[in-house]
Every structure is written in structure tokens, then in C-alpha cells.
Amino acid sequence: MKKAILTITAMLFFGLSFAQNAKLPENISIKTLDGKTVETSVIQNDGKPIIVSFWATWCKPCNRELNAIKEVYEEWQEETGVKLVAISIDDTRSASKVKPHVDGNEWNYEVYLDQNQDFKRAMNVVNVPHTFLINGKGEIVWQHTSYVDGSEEELFELVKKLANGEEI
């Protein structure tokens, strides 16, 4: 078992030795709400920032976050051109409820289904909500897990920095 620990240490070391921002994976299959399979490369925003938010219909904090952002989404878009992409990790039990849930809550986000959780695993998401910020080059520059009322304002400060070309 020492081998395993050594291996992991070695991997971490090699990993960190050329640490830089990982890119958003491009070739993972996800589904649109009308059942079409697409690749994660469809997550694009013409060089402007993207928020990628992992959520589930049954997750209360996720719903609070997406409902809170809904109230200010138009302003955010006008000011920074940001786009929010919501990735549902609902499995078969609730996947067919995702479209009704999104429409019923009047969310104007781009929503995809990650039923087999391939995207979730590739992004190392442990719990939902888990939110990523992607810059214009498609690099993951920030991530955060959990949601507390009001923390969408912290998120927007970061989006504004990105839109202005600042480092975060």
C-alpha cells in the first residue's frame, strides 16, 4: 500500500510541477433537455465568461442559488456578457422532471443533463451545488462548493473582474 501512497504523491508532485489552469473538458457526452446527445464543447460564450453550475432538482441550496441568480441574470448579462450553464446531475429517478422544473421556475439558463455523471467526475465535483468560473479562453479559473444566500454577489464580483480581463 505504500506504493499507492507514493504513487499519489508522485502524481501530485508532477501535477503541481506544471500547474496551470485546467481547461473545460471538450469531449464528454451530455444531453440537452429534448434528449439530444452533445459534447461538452458546446459550452461556449464567444470569449466571454461562463458560469458552470452543477445542480439537482432535489438539492435545496442549488435551487436557492439558481433562483437568486435568475432575479439578476439579465443585469449580469448586460453588464458582462456572462452565460450560466446549469448541469443537472439528476439520475433516472428525477431526470424526466428537469425540463418541467427549469420551465416552472422560469430559468433562462442553458441546461444539460449529466445522467451518467461523466462530466461530474471529470470536473471532480463531490457535492452539489458546485460552481465553476470559466474565462474567455475556456480555462477553469475559480470554483466553489455550497451556496449561502447572498454569495451570488461574491460570484458576480469575480465575473466582472473576468469580463474586464483581470486575473482572479
Partner 1 sequence: MKKHLKLLFVATIIIFMKGQGSSVKAQGIMGGHVTGNVQLDGQFSSRDSIIGATDVPEKMLSNVRADILYTNGNFSAGLRYEAYLNPMLGFDPSSKFKGQGIANYFVSYKTQNFTVTAGHFYEQFGNGMTLRAYEDRYLGIDNALRGVNVMYRPFRGITFKGVLGQQRYFWETRGLVRGVDGEVNLNDLITSWNESKTRLTLGGSFVSKYEDDETILSDMPGYKLQLPKNVGAASVRMDLAHGGFGLQAEYARKGQDPWLDNGYIYKPGEALWLSASYSQKGLSANIQAKRVDNMGFKSVRSVNERQMLYINYIPSITKQHTYAFLSMYPYGTQTTGEMGVQGDFIYKFKKESLLGGKYGTDIHLNASLITGLDTTLVGGKGTDGYTSSFFGTGETYYGDVSLEIAKKLSSKVKLSATYGYVLFNPVVEGHPGDIHHNHVLVADLTWKINRKNVLRFEAEWMGSDSKYSELVDDKRCGDWIMGLVEYNFTSAWFVSVSDQYAYNDGVGNYYNVSVGYTKGATRLQLGYGKQREGIICIGGVCRNVPASNGLTFSLTTSF
Please report, as ranges, the residues that interact with partner 1 according to CB under 8 A.
1, 3-5, 7-8, 10-12, 14-18, 20, 22-23, 25, 27-29, 34-37, 39, 57-60, 64, 91-97, 99-106, 115-118, 121-127, 130, 142-151, 153-154
In degrees, rounded to 5, the angle at the alpha carbon of residue 166 between the alpha carbons of residues 109 and 23 is: 55
Min dist CB 86 to partner 1, Å, is 16
Q: Dihedral (C-alpha) 112, 118, 119, 125: value to the nearest 10 degrees?
A: 120
* Minimal distance, residue 136 CB to partner 1, in Å: 18
Only one residue has cell 456572462, namely 82
| Cβ(62)–Cβ(149) below 8 Å | no
Is it true that the peptide bond before 25 is cis, omega within 30 degrees of 0? Answer: no
Which of residues 66 and 81 has its CB atom nearest to partner 1 in the complex?
A: 66
Closest approach of Cβ 58 to partner 1, in Å? 4
What are the distances in angstroms from CA 144 to CA 26, 46, 149? Answer: 21, 24, 14
Least distance from partner 1 to the Cβ atom of residue 27, Å: 5
